[in-house]
Amino acid sequence: MEKKLKHLEMIQNVITRLANNSFSLKGWTVIFIAAVLGFAIKESDSNYIPLVLLPIFTFWGLDGYYLRQEKLFRALYGKVRKLDEQDITFEMDTSSVEDEVASWVSVCISRTILGFYGPIFIVILVLIFISMIRILK
């Protein structure tokens, strides 16, 4: 039983790291957006606002990647949990559970990811729209 517990512990450590990466990305997203918007307001220049879109999509994609990897390792954890002690190989390859986890795109538009990045994206689009109206006046 010791081998199985050690293997499960290894997988759990990876899951924890991936969850921390996802949490950090969300923090960096908020910090970056606040910094750019703060700079745009300070300089009274709304041309900086669209610059936020590329990093938002980059952070969004990375967050989706980390969440998918976390789900893959959770599926691997479930698989290893059911193995007999003599079948434990300490394998960390998640390809055997790929079919059990949604695609990267599906994860990126899941409730948890879309619920965080969607409102941010909408607010940025509204700010761009408002700045365009001001320019046209």
Give pLDDT tens digits for 1-19.
Answer: 889 999 999 999 999 999 9
pLDDT at 12: 97
**26 or 40: which carries more pLDDT confidence?**
26
Residue type, 1: M
CB atoms within 10 A of CB 107: 21
Q: Which two tokens stand for residue 9?
A: 């512990």
Buried b (16+ CB within 10 A) or exposed e, 34-69: eebbeebeeeeebebbbebeeebeebbbbbbbbbbb
User: Whole-prediction pTM value?
Assistant: 0.87
- What is the Cβ-side half-sphere exposure of residue 106, based on CA atoms within 13 angstroms? 7
